Amino acid sequence: MRFITALALASAVLLSGAGLAGAQEKLLSERGDVAIEQDSKVDAMFRPERDSDLIPRDFQKQPPLVPHTVKGYNITQNFNKCMDCHSKERAEETGATLVAKSHYLDRDDKKLKNISPRRYFCMQCHVPQFDAKPLVENTYKPAAKKGE
């Protein structure tokens, strides 16, 4: 009986030592040296480009990236800051890219006077572009365009 007790005690000591060694290892995180309970400072690492050249699209039908900051842009049910420059009425005057014709169609492809409600919240698809280094290697290659 003493042998079993001694064996159990020895096992417990060995296992607890292995657990401590594992707990002391420092894990590297892509979030940086931030505890899981804390917010990471992503804004400090990735800042939107201010009025930069357009980054080319990676695939056909990709929504264009926004080449300027959108910090503080207000898009509510009654107001869309993007449309101050990108609407049919203002795009030529401001030099901004005109909103695509597809954004003025309803789900039955009927032409609307104003932007379609399903396309109204621009940042569902269009995001500010960043000149950020990839966190992991990326081997993505876009498909060839028709005729290439």
Q: Taking all residues of the chain, what is their mean pLDDT, rounded to a whole number?
A: 79
CA 136 to chain centre: 15
* Local structure of 2: helix, strand or coil: helix
Instruction: Report which of 113, 94, 93 is spatially closest to residue 103, judged by C-alpha positions.
Output: 113
Cα distances from 25 to residues 20, 28, 33, 68, 99, in angstroms, run 9, 10, 14, 42, 52
Place 144 in a pLDDT band, splitting at 50, 70 and 90: confident
105-140 residues labelled b (16+ CB within 10 A) or e (exposed): beeeeeeeeebeeebbebeeeeebbeeeeeeeeeee
What are the pLDDT digits (tens) for 98-140? 999 999 999 999 999 989 999 999 999 998 887 777 788 888 8
Cβ within 8 Å of residue 22, ≥6 positions away: none
The pLDDT assigned to 44 comes to 46
Please give the structure tokens belonging to residue 68. Answer: 């300027």
CA 91 to chain centre: 26
What are the pLDDT digits (tens) for 14-49? 666 555 555 556 656 666 677 777 766 654 444 555
